[in-house]
Amino acid sequence: MNWPPPQLSIRTLDMLSVWAVSSASGGQYYQKEDYYLSSMEGGPETGLVWLGEGSKALGLEGPARAEDFQSVLRGRNPDPEGPPLSRAERLGEVEHKAGFDLTFSAPKSVSLLGLIGGDHRLLAAHEKAVVAAMSYAEKELAVTRVRTPEGRVERVSTGNLVAAKTTHATSREGDPQAHSHVIVANATWLKSAGEWRAIESKALFEGQVTLGLIYQRELARASMELGYDVQPHKGGTFELSAVKQEQREAFSKATKRVEEAYAREKPTTPDAAQVAKLKDRPKKLKLDIGELEGRWREEAREVGLDAEGLVKAAHERGRGAVLSSDQIARRDAPIAEFVSALKTRFLGGVSEKYGYQTGEPEVGRDPEARRAVSLAVEVLEDRRAVFTRTEVMRGALEASSLQVASESLSKEIAALERGGVLKVADQKLHGGLTTPDALALERQLIASIEGGKGKSTPAYDKIGAISRLKQPDRQSSDLNLNAGQVSAALLVLSSRDRVLAIQGAAGVGKTTLMRTVNEALADKGISSVGLGPTHAAVDSLRSEARMDRAQTTASFLAQFSDVADGKRRATSNEKSQWAGKVVVVDEASMLSNRDALKIVDLSRKLELSKLVLVGDQRQLGSVGAGAPFRHLMNEGAPKAIVDEIVRQRDLGLRSSVEAFSRGNAKDGVERLGLSLIEVGAGKGSSDLVEKAFQLWKAAHEKGQTRPVLTATQAERHEINGKILEHLERQGEIGRTGVSVSPLVQVHLTGPERWKVESYKEGQVLVFNSSSRQLDVSKDEQVHVIARGRADTSTLLHVENQSGRQFAIDLASAARNGRDIFSVFDQQEPTPIYNGAQMVFERSLKGIEARVGEKVTIVSSDEKQVTLERDGGARLELPANDPNLRFLGPGYAMTTHRAQGLTLRDDPIAVLHSRNANQAIAYVQVSRAVHGISVVTDAKERLLSRLSNKDGQNLIASENVRPDPAEMSPDRRAGMDQGLREPIARDVRLESEKEKKLEKTFDRQIDGPARQEPQPEPSADRKRDWGMSL
């Protein structure tokens, strides 16, 4: 069974492409006048035209002369008396990076009616939309790098670009395709330095999708003004509804080629899509005007496209509209929608967290723009503590209708910044923003840890702990602790503080450490409980670390969610079960800010003796917002550091892991030696997957099973498919005619979950718990058959497997604050293979299956599927059992799933440079005990990527701009002393609220003051829980 992973829409990827112009000689292509557009009477200007404030500063406006354009691309100022345009010109160097080509492509229907139908107004609208997008780029994405007197490199906005635009009419295959090339020269004026500087291109590439959406939005609005109805598509794109899909496809030969490339490469980022798009691109077809027009007329006639008639109808209509495809299937839908709208208005629906503040003027403001920006910020802050202004803009464009102007969205974002609802946090991320809530979470976390200092009774005094660790033990006499492990054990056994942190690099023997600690605690009658991110980790905590009890971190948080949220206090029975225990959170670096705060608060509310957070700052962090483990380590939490790596038996491999653990990725890659396998520069992910498969196959033929680690779900899906095909050819597995439609989870944030526009017809909702009100049971599956209008309703219409239809009120679910269901996309039916190794992708209570549990398909027919579990137990399920939809191939796993595992069979890691960061590389390499094969495209490209991408989540308080009026000078060094007192006061206020709610509730946060040492410097993912080792 193959699970297609989520990937970017071809529409989203094709609306704007960005690539580097390597040299000035490449600029000659853009100086050629488009032969078709130049022949159109009243058509757009086709030659190069200057754009941008930077161009104006050079005295370059209007049509661009060839010599001026070439001079700018060479990095030379066209005015010999003016300041040098580049470092190359200043120093007399020859080599200079010319610039970047941003190509804006019109929707196919716009090109057809503009070029075949002769509606020059559409072509003019295209030109204006390009200018609007470039105006945004100039304001937000014109960036250069500056070195401060302290030697720190900062990214600074300049607000100007030197650019030239030219428009072409045809695709390489000769189809109508209006598109404009905007060539941005590698120069921007830095006013503070009084000189021209090179552009920091990272912002342009990362803002690619946002610029494309702005272009699409402005073109859609202009098209409606011209009398055309527009049909919106997912991701903010559109087409003119008058042109049918089959008509568009007939003139989309290039799209078919690109679709094939995307299907092969499965790009998940714009830069990956660009590589796939350019691969095997043909030379541009050259036809004279007569041949071209004749071909277009004939093809239009064949598909029934009356382009001129459609243009005439638009002229007569005068004003178009957005036509939505959403239809409510149920006959009583209008009544239900009306009732839902009334409830939303008078009883309160899903609140707009970042809507207008009391007293804020609404004159001249767009309510839908406000709502879209509010949703974008809510979604982003749930995923990251720091995000960019451009990301907010992108989210707002995707969340709003095509009628909303991009400028209106920009105004709403600016209003939130002026009001302090969005705070600038650009110390490490250009254009970075954060929210007061993100800052408050971090303050409360540190305050809660401070409040636990001196509040725990140690199991041993320090001398007693040292003495106990020296004693031989019947169970662990073979365990010799190193200095770091002894230090950590002493901290747990003798500290008087409730919350402790242990920083342990990958493979330092944290399990051995905790086993020794648990045995020492048991001698004092103190029991231990382990919390792990996966069931595999939980099994390890039980069997190897010998915890008295262990469960997943998620189940612990779910068990006490009401207590953590302050909706109730812990019962006496709950306290009696947990009081005095030591709870160890494994892989604590994978916690989000919100979950970390809940666990720390629960340690007080359940009266734990100790909460020990064990993690590694440099490995992969949370999929949610923040890096709380690193933050509390930096901010004075009682801690121990264990850094002597013992997992790797091969000294060369161990030295590589040690380098990665220190943050020295270059040395880590170099020390891999022959274990790093290069497929070749310019090769795509599919090429790397094929090489990894060949390595797996070679080992399999020798009777070895090598686990495969991938950086993305797309790579995991592809290599699993190759392995299944190979095993079927070899006769090791076989089809039986039985198939299932797999479910792939759609990961929605809390804010997205309660918006009807986040759902689409055909999706499957799986209930996480039973609901008496909805009359559904846990793990029951229902299909989305329709959704209400986003502006009037919060109803989601569904149908269960027996045909019963009912509505889910998302507003009501949001008010209850519970994730009552998970969302899945339904895939095409795929065969079940007898003999295949599979894993459960979801825990299923009804059949006692755990997420990540390995099974083998023993037999299957049209009536029954039999699975064999580890240990030989068998599970028999009806062939139509919906639980089978959660089975996935178990030969490859993503790197996120592998974190925390030890792989004794040499793994194969797929690490394409464009998907790589230091955290992913570190986790992949450090899983191996004896050896590893790391498959990449090119070593130099990998090193370049790793030097710029550490893969770590950002901390809001480390990135927010210091306010001299409120913060001490020490804040920039990370001390945060100026915030300590306000933090405590914030928590006391929250405590007073709890006291009123619960009448009697003792919360003391003020512990003895302690002098903390100077903190150490601080160093896109969906979880894959299914795998086989």
pLDDT tens readout for residues 260-272? 665 655 565 555 5
Q: How many CB atoms lie within 10 A of CB 823?
A: 19
Instruction: Write down the CATH number for the domain with range 368-435.
Output: 1.10.10.10
The dihedral sign for the CA sequence 891, 897, 901, 907: positive
Q: 10-317, what's its fold? A: BirA Bifunctional Protein; domain 2 (3.30.930)
Q: Rounded to a whole number, what is the distance in angstroms from the first to the last CA of the chain?
A: 18
Instruction: Write down the CATH number for the domain with range 743-826.
Output: 2.30.30
495 pLDDT tier (thresholds 50, 70, 90): very high
User: Per-residue pLDDT for 1018 more than 50?
Assistant: no
Domains 10-317 and 439-642 share a fold: no
Do the bridges between strand 864-869 and strand 874-878 make them parallel or antiparallel, or are there none, so unpaired?
antiparallel
Q: What are phi and psi of 584, to 5 degrees?
A: -110, 120
Averaged pLDDT of the chain: 83
Q: Are the CB atoms for 865 and 877 separated by under 8 Å?
A: yes
User: Per-residue pLDDT for 348 more than 80?
Assistant: no
pTM: 0.82
- Residue 112 is given by DSSP the state I
Q: Where are the domains of the chain?
A: 10-317, 368-435, 439-642, 652-740+833-937, 743-826
C-alpha span between 480 and 482 (Å, rounded) = 7
The dihedral sign for the CA sequence 546, 549, 555, 557: negative
937 pLDDT tier (thresholds 50, 70, 90): very high
Average pLDDT, stretch 392-405? 92
User: Per-residue pLDDT for 422 more than 80?
Assistant: yes
User: Per-residue pLDDT for 352 more than 80?
Assistant: no
85 pLDDT tier (thresholds 50, 70, 90): confident
User: Per-residue pLDDT for 942 more than 90?
Assistant: yes
Question: Which has the closest alpha carbon to 43: 176, 228, 212?
Answer: 176
Sheet holding 528-532, edge to edge: 549-552, 528-532, 582-585, 610-615, 499-504, 639-642
- What per-residue confidence (pLDDT) applies to 559? 92
The dihedral sign for the CA sequence 311, 314, 318, 319: negative
950 pLDDT tier (thresholds 50, 70, 90): very high
3-state helix/strand/coil string of 63-96: ECCHHHHHHHHCCCCCCCCCCCCCHHHHHCCCCC
Choice between 290 and 168, residue whose per-residue pLDDT is larger: 168
- Residue 146, token pair as written in the block: 């500056």
Q: 439-642, what's its fold? A: Rossmann fold (3.40.50)
Choice between 955 and 973, residue whose per-residue pLDDT is larger: 955
pLDDT tens readout for residues 303-322? 999 999 999 999 998 777 77
- What per-residue confidence (pLDDT) applies to 471? 75
C-alpha span between 762 and 78 (Å, rounded) = 59
C-alpha span between 840 and 890 (Å, rounded) = 9
Residue length of the chain: 1029
- What per-residue confidence (pLDDT) applies to 1010? 32
Question: Which has the closest alpha carbon to 122: 21, 242, 8?
Answer: 242
Q: How many CB atoms lie within 10 A of CB 63?
A: 12
Half-sphere exposure of residue 41: CA atoms within 13 angstroms, side-chain side: 0
